[in-house]
Structure 1
Amino acid sequence: MTFTRRQTLFGAAGAAAVLSLPSRLMAQSGELLHASWGGGVGDTWTGAFAAPYTKETGIGVRIVEVPNPEAQFRAQAGNPQYHSGIGTFVQGVNMMRDGVLETFSIDELPNMRNIDEKYWLKTEDGRLAGITPYFAYYGIAVNTNEASVDDFSSWKNLEDAKWAGRLGMTRPIYLSTYDLTILSKAAGGDEYDTAGGMKLLEGMARNVLNVATSLAQQNTMLERGEVAAMPFYSVRVWSLNEAGVDYVRIVIPEEGALLLPYVVVAPKGVADREKVANWLNYIAGAAPQERGMAISGYIPANNDAVAPEDIKAKLGMDYAALKARLYQPDWGYIAEHQKDTVAAIDQMLASL
């Protein structure tokens, strides 16, 4: 997917004040440093990607957990100290636009040929600014002790008055990016035409018991049955299920769910560029992405990835069928208009 400069406007303000790594984190000779979010994401990157890569190549990869890899890349612009890092697709677009990222030819990253081009982070001249390691998706999480999954066969069910005081909701910054986008699709529009989605969002908001301020709070609300349902992330529900919370289910409504791609990028001027390209190409391969799915429920982007029977049983389908039910919007357009969209949502919520 190609984006012009005008398509993304937010994200630059996230740069951290830390300009260098502590000496204990500096890369050892020949070692690659990969910036990752913490918790389960860091564990996934160690188990599915870094450790197997080191075993296969002899090249060490250290996963360094940070609150925001994008902020580190921006703070270290011109003096990069990480070799690679994970980000959301929108973060990747913003960094690409601002000239923060190293770019590669498809010949340097041949495994990307097995990933649909619509999921590529690509410059206007056709170079790759990152690789796609996996997806998550945004559906409706349901506590089946409080409601049936059939109660939420459509996104429009969220505005039904029967759920007054029984739904959860996230903050406007995420409502503007995720909820409004998929609700607009359900209402017959899309990210370019959000009028119907805004009406659905208002209807949902009238049924909300609590606006969560963190993912941990959303997990708790669902697990304890404080809410019957809320729009939520597939990988979060996967983690709950793996922890034994089997009464929380993720639903893909009849209108589909929102596909959330991630990217792995390298900072502009990265050291050991050839070695980094080899690492990025490895990440884009099917085998590590299959391991990432088994560990934490991230959907492989590589078309050669095969879902074993136990994974298909958990998903209820194979990867191809799942991808067919997910909507990939124009993330650049969404990013460009996010400030105004957040303001409109704030105004709508204040009027309730």
Structure 2
Amino acid sequence: MRRTLRTGATTLAVAGLGLAAACGGTPEPGAPAGGGGGGSSDVVTVASWGGRFSEAMVSALAEPFTEETGIEVRVVDSPGNFVSQVQSQHDAGNVQWDIVDSAASSDAQYLYDQGLLTAHPDGLRSTLEAELGEDKLNEYSFTFANHAYVIACADERVEACPTTVEEFFDTEDFPGRRMMPGDASSYSQLITILGQAAGNPVDAALPVDLDTALDELRGIKDDVRVWWTSGDQMEQALQQGEADLGFMYSGRAFNLVDNGLDLTVNWAGVYTPGHTALVADSPNPDGAAQFLEWIASHPEAQAEWSQIMNYSVPHPEALEALPAEEAERLSDWPANRALIADQNVPWYLEHKQEIDRGIQQLIQGG
């Protein structure tokens, strides 16, 4: 198992044994990272989160799958834009993606409810159940990249790091420039954080009265200097001193630790499973199902992915293969899991418009 990627350059398109290095610059949402058009029926097109996330998909999963099967995998970067992109592709009658990689729970459920993700075909379903177990599945996805929104504090700039969500919202006893999630795909997690800030227990963070929750966010707004919209941005904010403490992805926090930043990471926040699923009416459904089947049945590849990203993966043999010090960093580690709240996705989706509008207005100055 490797801790680092195989190549110095990011490889984001894989074709047989000919590997294409990623182009410079930042791709537009939905555009293939590494160049070229999406949607060919000769390839499997995977929409991922960009940056290290896409790199890990390529290095640990797509490359070895292509080497073994000869099937091309193209990874496109669309961080936080899965819902809008899938909807627009279907509306235009030009579906380009085959798979969404580790979509947020609320986004995945919404897309499935709208008929934009498809249920597992029988053959794939049998493999997923046998390899991963039913607790890692629903009718249309399996969990991957399970992580958490946790509290991280730069030790040089924070005297005392909050150990609970309520402490994080106490700016008098725990001062410092804060960062918070600002992208719409994180609002289910953010409202779960606000439920705890309002006094709800970890095991029942939601439902919460929306006005009460927004008052909690309004109370610390002046101390929030960064409303992050990507994993790269949250890392940069702590590294460059734009923020002193904040909520961030657990894997991103430990990546900073591994790269030498003195950081305290406290397991308080929200459990965030990713959902990897097949897009409805995609150009290459058979190849996509084969790729998902390969991922499910290769725990060693999942373990490599986990080591790159510091996120949990679904195969039990993959987690057992990790060194203890790495497994203890994961959101599915029992001691960590007990400290982080679950999202209430059905409740969030029922009130989505009201919640999203309230949060957006507050962030934008309302």
Q: TM-score, normalised to structure 2's length?
A: 0.73
* CA 147–329 in structure 1, closer or farther in 2 if over 3 Å, else same: same
CA distance in 2, matches of 1:322, 1:209: 26
Residue 303 of structure 1, CA deviation: 3.0
Match of 1:249 among 260, 264, 268: 264
Question: Which residue matches 1:264?
Answer: 276
Q: Does 1:293 align with 2:310?
A: no
Structure 1: gaps of 5 or more residues: 1-15, 123-127
Please tell me whether the aligned partners of residues 106 and 112 of structure 1 are also in contact (alpha carbons under 8 angstroms).
Answer: no
Match of 2:182 among 171, 180, 190: 171
CA distance in 1, matches of 2:168, 2:114: 38
Letter in 2 for 1:267: V
Please tell me whether the aligned partners of residues 48 and 292 of structure 1 are also in contact (alpha carbons under 8 angstroms).
Answer: yes
Structure 2: gaps of 5 or more residues: 1-27
Cα distance per residue 1:106-153 (max 9 Å; x no partner): 642334325465653x4xxxxx223322212101011111225x6312
What number of residue pairs does the alignment pair up?
325
Letter in 2 for 1:83: D
Please tell me whether the aligned partners of residues 102 and 270 of structure 1 are also in contact (alpha carbons under 8 angstroms).
Answer: no
CA distance in 1, matches of 2:359, 2:37: 42
Residue 43 of structure 1, CA deviation: 0.7
Residue 294 of structure 1, CA deviation: 1.0
Cα distance per residue 1:290-340 (max 9 Å; x no partner): 121111222112333225226537728974444444432222321332331
* CA 307–238 in structure 1, closer or farther in 2 if over 3 Å, else same: farther
Query: 1:61 is paired with a residue of what secondary structure?
Result: strand
Question: Which residue matches 2:164?
Answer: 154
CA distance in 2, matches of 1:318, 1:190: 19
| Root mean square deviation of aligned Cα | 3.8
CA distance in 1, matches of 2:273, 2:74: 23
CA distance in 2, matches of 1:52, 1:19: 23
CA distance in 1, matches of 2:253, 2:41: 40
Greater alpha carbon shift after TM alignment, 273-282 vs 171-180:
171-180
Question: Which residue matches 1:236?
Answer: 252
Question: Which residue matches 2:20?
Answer: none
Residue 28 of structure 1, CA deviation: 6.7
Instruction: Output aligned runs, 1:139-218, within 5 Å.
Output: 139-147=150-158, 151-160=161-170, 161-164=172-175, 166-171=177-182, 173=184, 176-185=187-196, 187-188=199-200, 189-194=204-209, 197-198=213-214, 200-205=216-221, 208-212=223-227, 214-215=229-230, 216-218=232-234
Cα distance per residue 1:73-92 (max 9 Å; x no partner): 33332543332232322221
CA distance in 2, matches of 1:178, 1:49: 27
- Percent identical among aligned pairs is 21
Please tell me whether the aligned partners of residues 166 and 196 of structure 2 are also in contact (alpha carbons under 8 angstroms).
Answer: no
* CA 349–164 in structure 1, closer or farther in 2 if over 3 Å, else same: farther
Residue 178 of structure 1, CA deviation: 2.0
Question: Which residue matches 1:10?
Answer: none
Query: 1:269 is paired with a residue of what secondary structure?
Result: coil
Query: 1:205 is paired with a residue of what secondary structure?
Result: helix
Instruction: Output aligned runs, 1:313-352, within 5 Å.
Output: 315=329, 319-345=333-359
Letter in 2 for 1:239: N
